[in-house]
Structure 1
């Protein structure tokens, strides 16, 4: 099954990165918060990465991490927009 993760900047450039997921080839990358069946609550650490707890869970479950710079090679180069909630 196609299950990939990627850290993508919230804005263009090298800003804060958020975990994005892709569950099927050709599908856009979507923020982890749009997948309640996979995501877990973020750690309550000031300045912590959004999605780190989910990343750890999915890595153990066999998901593949795609380097940020290569995310467009592994599916759609478009990213689904969604607000990442502060938790």
Structure 2
């Protein structure tokens, strides 16, 4: 996780009634499902939103949460 760039963007989107984390490195990129970034994706505890562990980790790397 040390090679994660800083300053990316994160957004929660609804998929099949469930909140799922989406990522992009900058505003010119399309949003992509967090699992499309295997170098960032972390395993989530049972019962939590998909991507919550990745979200918390990326917040510590100065990624920005965008309001959905």
TMscore range, shorter length: 0.7 to 0.9
The TM-score, its normalising length taken from structure 2, stands at 0.81
Going by fraction, where is strand more abundant, 1 or 2?
Answer: 2
Larger radius of gyration: 1
Indicate which of 12, 19, 22 corresponds to 1:7. Answer: 12
Would you say how many aligned residue pairs link Structure 1 and Structure 2?
63
**Structure 1, gaps ≥5 residues long:** 69-87
The TM-score, its normalising length taken from structure 1, stands at 0.65
Going by fraction, where is helix more abundant, 1 or 2?
Answer: 1
Please report the RMSD computed on the Cα atoms of aligned residues, expressed in angstroms: 1.4
Moved over 2 A (4+): none
